[in-house]
Amino acid sequence: MAQSWQRLRNGKNIKPHDIIMLKHERLEYELMNKYGYDYDTAHEITNKKYNYSFALRIYLKNNNLE
């Protein structure tokens, strides 16, 4: 996750899972702050739409980086 943040911050070599992470964090934040969900519930809901861990695993597998 730290590497994703670094790429996003630098604006270089951004991967698809980096964007998914951003969308995940934004939706999770919105669910907690706008709709009052606790973290665990917001995270569970968010993972159904933007699952960073899954996207990262797929990227690593597809690029033989496992």
pLDDT tens for residues 31-65?
Answer: 999 999 999 999 999 999 999 999 999 999 999 99
pLDDT reported for residue 59: 95
pLDDT reported for residue 54: 96
**37 in Cβ contact with 31 (< 8 Å):** yes
40-66 b/e (C-beta count within 10 Å ≥ 16 → b): eebeeebeeebbbeebbeeeeeeeeee
pLDDT reported for residue 53: 95
Q: What is the DSSP string of the chain?
A: -HHHHHHHHHTSS--HHHHHHHHHHHHHHHHHHTT---HHHHHHHHHHH--HHHHHHHHHHHTT--
pLDDT band at 66 (very low <50, low <70, confident <90, very high): confident
